[in-house]
Each structure stands twice: as C-alpha cells, then as structure tokens.
C-alpha cells in the first residue's frame, strides 16, 4: 500500500511547483471471504429458507470450538443482538460469518430496534447497552474462563448508538449507551475481526475493559472498512477504541469519523502494530495514549514500543496532529515513554484550502520521554506550506511542543518545517535529521 515518491529531479519528485494530486485510493475493503463451514463442530445456517430464520433462534450461549454461525444475506437486515462467550481453539475457532448476496452484499446486523435472545448470557446484564455484537465472559462461567479464538467476519454492522433503541433479554425497551460499539469486546483472547463494514455506531470497535487476569489479548483487525462512527456531540467516541495487548491492524480502510469529532484509531494497548492500512481524517488519525484501566500494562516492554508502517495517512483539511504519542490523562507515569517506529508510510496533507493561520502537524508527543523514529516515508502536501499556513513535523499541545523526533531517509515536500514557524508555542522537544531529507515538490503518485 505504500505509495513511493518518484525521483525525477535533483531533489526528488517533479520540478514544477503547483497543486499536487491526492494519492490514488486503495480498493475499499472488506474483501471476500470463504464462509464455508470447516470446523468439526456444528454448522448453524441463518437466513431465508435455512434451518434458522432468525439470529435469536441460534443457541449462541452454547457455542463451542469448531462451531460456525453462517448468516446469509437477505434484503432486510437482521435487527438482532449477539453475544459470543465460548472457547474455541487455534485450529477450531468459533466463527460468526456472513455469506454475501448475489452482488457481494454483506449481511447487515442492525442495532435499530434490535431484539435480544432471552437465553444469552452476558458478562452482566448492564453490558447489554454497550454493543450490538458483544464478545465477553459468560456470567455463569468460572470467572477466569475467557472467550477465546473468536472470529467475526463478513458482516455489515451498524446503528449501535443513541438515539437508537433495542429490546433487551428481559423484553424491556432500552437505549444504547453513549459509548456503545458495533463490536464490543468485554474481554477475550485471540479475537479476530475481519472483512466487515462497521459504521454509524458510537464506537465502531471497542476492545478491552480491564487489565490483569482479564486483559484482552491477541486481537487482529483485518481487511475491514470502518467509517462514520463517533458522536455528533462530543469527541470521546471513535472509529476504534482499544485497551488490550498485542493488537494488529492490517489491510483495513478507515474513513472519516462521524462529525469529525473523535479519533480514527485510539489505542491504550500494549503491543500495537498498525500496518498496510488507509487511514483518513479524524481528530487524530492515530492516538496512542496511556493505559487507563489496564495500568499494569505499563510494566510490559511492548507498551513502550509501537510500530506503524506501510500505511497511507490522509489529512484532508486542517486540525489536530495526525499522530499523537504519549498520554492524555495527566498521569504521566502511565504514559508511553518509549519509541514509536514509523517507517515506509505515505503521509499526505490536503492543504490547498487553508486560510491564514490554519495549519497541520504530523506528530505530537506528550513529553520528552516519547521518541519517534520516522524513516523512509513520503511526506507530501497539495501545496507548499507557508509560515502562516504551515505544515509541521512536531506539533504542540497546550502551547508546548515536546518529544524527540528523528527523521532519516524521507522524501519531504518543500516548505514543511520542524515546528510551527509562528512564534507562540514553547519548544522543549527536538527534531533531528530534517535537513538530510530528500526535498521535492511532487512525489509523482501513480
């Protein structure tokens, strides 16, 4: 997915100044998947003419290793909630899988007016308001028995947010919580979310609620199209919001958040790898901050190293820093205090509509204990920035620009600066290696 720069001039790229076109868009996931039942367990087929007409007819509370629930596309979406809490294995996962329609349409799981199977065993009944598809500990299971090897794939998931309402397992009308998610993972081990379209929820995905023995681990978010999630009234809900350990994002397309208020990806997890994705807009495109509930994650070496590579990162206007690394609670002992490895990415800022004193920054670090190593990237913009319409590498928070940014082997659009050239922010951080970049005008996207 990396879009590399053409080096046609002495400094790389085209020699003439003028507007630069956006990178060509990637093919929009989700990709096609094979929903064939291959496990040794039961095959539950749901849809028109199948053994189960409704999701509520499926005994989700009894799913075990090797079981597959295949949801067949129909013109009317499935307005039903789902709870997954069984234990699969690496060879025999528990699968919730969508079988597409004749033109590739994904089966729709719709939170508006959704009903709830009375037998579903939620972690606590209060969790029902937190999501449309929920992965979590079944309340009647031993406390230390986590759901494991759960695969959710090939579904369109929407409308888990206010003002939508649903019917809970007792038959009572209920409203979704303000932080509800299309997929809410209360806890689990080896959870895969693949080839889904997730939109119009408060949070698209919300993974992990605690640390210690119930820390969610080994999460794969792959080949999804996640867009237009968030709140229209505040900035606390996001396309994805996680606090887990060992989280991999790959081959996804992340569109703008709903209303532009929340972040595209907000991560409090240890062991985060974000690779080969298209990520477009949001308050921050990527917000890598401190542990909140799982504060014991700070003791993990993987909490202090994050890898972002091979992505296309697109800012289509001005706004907050594209990538924030550090923390946001004010409790700095829980901040990242490590290294963000950022390489082989294409970063593009569409700045041709900027007015005076509108600006963008690529990175923001919370303290000087946060280090960013950025190498072999393309940093491009529609037009050459100016001092009063700046595009900078290291932005500020509360008028303080902190952190250590090391640049090496990058292609950079002429006019980009290390810090905001307009006097005001206090600079306590540093940017090394900018002068050794390959400077050009047009990276010649193709």
Query: What range does the domain containing 256 cover?
Result: 35-291
Which pLDDT does position 2 carry in this prediction?
Answer: 37
* φ, ψ of residue 108 in degrees (nearest 5): -100, 125
pLDDT digits (tens, 9 = 90+) for 176-205: 999 999 999 999 999 999 999 999 999 999
277, 350: one domain: no
173, 39: one domain: yes
Residue closest to 109 by CA, chosen among 162, 64, 54, 59: 54
pLDDT digits (tens, 9 = 90+) for 49-59: 999 999 999 99
Give the chain's end-to-end CA distance (angstroms, integer): 12
Q: Residues 98, 148: contact at Cβ < 8 Å?
A: no
**Alpha-carbon gap, residue 19 to 5, rounded angstroms:** 16
Window from 66-70, 265-269, 292-296, 430-434 with minimum mean pLDDT: 292-296
Which pLDDT does position 30 carry in this prediction?
Answer: 65
253, 363: one domain: no
Residue 219 has pLDDT above 90, yes or no: yes
Contacts of 194 (CB under 8 A, 6+ apart): 30, 33, 151, 152, 153, 154, 220, 222, 223, 224
Q: Residues 193, 224: contact at Cβ < 8 Å?
A: yes
**Alpha-carbon gap, residue 110 to 182, rounded angstroms:** 9
Residue 87 has pLDDT above 80, yes or no: yes
Average pLDDT, the chain: 94
46, 187: one domain: yes
Which pLDDT does position 176 carry in this prediction?
Answer: 98
DSSP notation for 277-336: -EEE-SSSSEEE---SS-GGGGGSGGGGEEEEES-EEEE-S--S-SEEES-SSS-GGGS-
Which pLDDT does position 29 carry in this prediction?
Answer: 66
276, 336: one domain: no
Residue 7 has pLDDT above 70, yes or no: no
What is the percentage of the chain residues whose pLDDT exceeds 90?
A: 90
Residue 390 has pLDDT above 80, yes or no: yes
12 is written with which tokens? 């790389």
**Alpha-carbon gap, residue 214 to 221, rounded angstroms:** 20
45 or 19, greater pLDDT:
45
pLDDT digits (tens, 9 = 90+) for 8-39: 333 344 445 567 777 776 666 667 899 999 99
Which pLDDT does position 84 carry in this prediction?
Answer: 99
- C-alpha distances in Å from residue 95, one per residue of 118, 136, 150, 220, 242: 21, 15, 6, 14, 21
285, 335: one domain: no
Q: Has residue 13 been placed in a domain?
A: no
Which pLDDT does position 235 carry in this prediction?
Answer: 93
Q: Residues 287, 262: contact at Cβ < 8 Å?
A: no
Q: Has residue 29 been placed in a domain?
A: no
> What average pLDDT does range 134-156 have in this prediction?
97
350, 231: one domain: no
287, 315: one domain: no
225, 354: one domain: no
Q: Has residue 375 been placed in a domain?
A: yes
Q: Has residue 299 been placed in a domain?
A: no
Q: Has residue 22 been placed in a domain?
A: no
Q: Residues 250, 219: contact at Cβ < 8 Å?
A: no
> What average pLDDT does range 360-371 have in this prediction?
98
365, 221: one domain: no
- Read off the DSSP letter of residue 213: G
pLDDT digits (tens, 9 = 90+) for 250-286: 999 999 999 889 999 999 999 999 999 999 999 999 9
Q: Has residue 18 been placed in a domain?
A: no
Three-state helix/strand/coil letters over 406-432: EEECCEEECCCECCCCCCCCEECCEEE
Q: Has residue 188 been placed in a domain?
A: yes
**Alpha-carbon gap, residue 209 to 225, rounded angstroms:** 24
Which pLDDT does position 444 carry in this prediction?
Answer: 84
Q: What's the whole-model pTM score?
A: 0.94
347, 287: one domain: no
- Name residue, tokens 């509360």: 398
257, 153: one domain: yes
* Residue where a domain terminates, one of 234, 256, 291: 291
Contacts of 50 (CB under 8 A, 6+ apart): 72
Looking at the structure of the chain, the number of domains it has is 2
Q: Has residue 198 been placed in a domain?
A: yes
């Amino acid at each position: 997915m990396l879009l590399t720069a053409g080096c046609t001039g002495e400094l790389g790229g085209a020699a003439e100044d003028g507007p630069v076109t956006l990178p060509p868009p990637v093919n929009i996931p989700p990709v096609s998947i094979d929903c064939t039942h291959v496990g040794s367990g039961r095959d539950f087929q749901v849809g028109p003419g199948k053994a189960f007409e409704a999701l509520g007819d499926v005994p989700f509370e009894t799913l075990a290793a090797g079981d597959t629930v295949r949801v067949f596309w129909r013109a009317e979406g499935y307005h039903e909630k789902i709870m997954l809490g069984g234990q699969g294995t690496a060879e025999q996962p528990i699968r919730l899988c969508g079988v597409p329609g004749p033109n590739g349409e994904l089966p729709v799981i719709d939170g508006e007016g959704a009903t709830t199977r009375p037998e579903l065993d939620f972690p606590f009944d209060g969790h029902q308001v937190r999501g449309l598809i929920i992965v979590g500990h079944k309340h009647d299971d031993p406390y230390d028995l986590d759901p494991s090897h759960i695969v959710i794939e090939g579904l369109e998931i929407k409308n888990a947010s206010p003002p939508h309402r649903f019917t809970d397992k007792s038959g009572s009308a209920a409203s979704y919580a303000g932080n509800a998610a299309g997929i809410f993972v209360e806890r689990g081990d080896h959870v895969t979310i693949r080839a889904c379209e997730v939109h119009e929820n408060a949070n698209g995905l919300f993974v992990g609620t605690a640390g210690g023995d119930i820390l969610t681990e080994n999460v794969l978010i792959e080949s999804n199209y996640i867009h237009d999630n968030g709140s229209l009234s505040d900035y606390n809900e996001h396309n994805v919001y996680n606090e887990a350990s060992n989280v991999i994002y790959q081959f996804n397309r992340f569109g703008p958040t709903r209303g532009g208020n929340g972040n595209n990806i907000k991560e409090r997890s240890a062991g985060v790898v974000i690779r080969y994705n298209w990520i477009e807009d949001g308050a921050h495109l990527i917000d890598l901050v401190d542990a909140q509930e799982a504060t014991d994650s700070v003791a993990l070496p993987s909490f202090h190293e994050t890898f972002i590579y091979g992505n296309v990162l697109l800012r289509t206007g001005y706004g907050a820093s594209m990538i924030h690394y550090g923390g946001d609670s004010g409790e700095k002992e829980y901040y990242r205090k490590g290294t963000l490895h950022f390489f082989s990415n294409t970063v593009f800022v569409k700045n041709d509509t900027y007015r005076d004193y509108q600006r963008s920054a690529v990175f923001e670090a919370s303290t000087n204990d946060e280090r960013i190593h950025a190498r072999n990237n393309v940093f491009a913009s529609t037009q050459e920035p100016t001092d009063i319409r700046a595009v900078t590498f290291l932005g500020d928070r509360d008028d303080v620009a902190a952190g250590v940014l090391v640049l090496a082997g990058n292609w950079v659009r002429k006019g980009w600066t290390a810090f905001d050239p307009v006097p005001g922010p206090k600079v306590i951080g540093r940017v090394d290696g900018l002068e050794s970049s390959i400077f050009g005008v047009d990276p010649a996207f193709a």
